Structure 1
């Protein structure tokens, strides 16, 4: 099995990744929203539309 991030051979300790670095890259992508599961739920679509129409939040 190859690492889904860099395509090197996966390591059993970090499976399916080859290293902690690649596992952390994947986790960072999930946490930042780069990976998303699409939804067909009308309520989710409505919430997304509302979020786009609101002004951006000011940083603290």
Structure 2
């Protein structure tokens, strides 16, 4: 299999990446928000608005 960042053959030690560099690049993308998991925040906001609860008071 190949590294999802650069396409080079993955190394067992850094699996699924080929190196620490590619592993760190992937982590940086997650940390800076480049990757995002879709959420249904709009639906949550609508529910809060219907209940007339300010979103800042809503705890997850």
Answer 1 or 2: which has greater helix percent. Answer: 2
Match of 1:43 in 2: 44
Figure out how many residues of one structure are paired with residues of the other and give that number: 47
Please give the TM-score of this superposition, normalised by the length of structure 1: 0.69
* Inter-CA distance 29–39: structure 2 relative to 1 (3 Å threshold): same
Q: Which segments of 5 or more consecutive residues in structure 1 lack a partner in the other structure?
A: 51-60
Match of 1:4 in 2: 4
Q: Alignment RMSD, CA only? A: 2.3
**The structure with more radius of gyration:** 2
Runs of 4+ off more than 2 Å = none
Q: Which segments of 5 or more consecutive residues in structure 2 lack a partner in the other structure?
A: 48-54, 56-60
